[in-house]
Amino acid sequence: QVQLVESGGGLVQAGGSLRVSCAASGGQFSRLAMGWFRQGPGKEREFVASISRSGGITFYADSVKGRFTISRVNDKKTVYLQMNDLNSADTAVYYCAATATILTVNPPREGEEYPYWGQGTQVTVSS
């Protein structure tokens, strides 16, 4: 069973930066495509970013493109989300997700494609 644990959330000022991390255990990390999702207050869960098994393919939501960077270090079984130029719309619980699907090389952008989820880490941006 794959287990995911997020960390690094917190309170930041608008325009600031934060990096959240997701540590995986219980599986072969290099087999997993990884994704970040978020859910703001009163909002539906939305896709943020995803990364392929090797790290060679990344996708981003339009709302974060150019500001956020997803990366992974397979030797550490960890995926990161570097968030820059944060604004109030980025306030949300950020969730890490993983899938071992072999149907495509592309890392999914749909939450329903991810069977493994972390508990989430709160990111609050103050103005």
**Residues 74-93: pLDDT tens digits?**
999 999 999 999 999 999 99
The DSSP call for residue 113 is G
Examine the pLDDT at 33 and tell me if it is beyond 90: yes
Question: What's the pLDDT at 3?
Answer: 98
Question: What's the pLDDT at 102?
Answer: 84
Question: What's the pLDDT at 101?
Answer: 86
pLDDT: which is higher, 101 or 25: 25
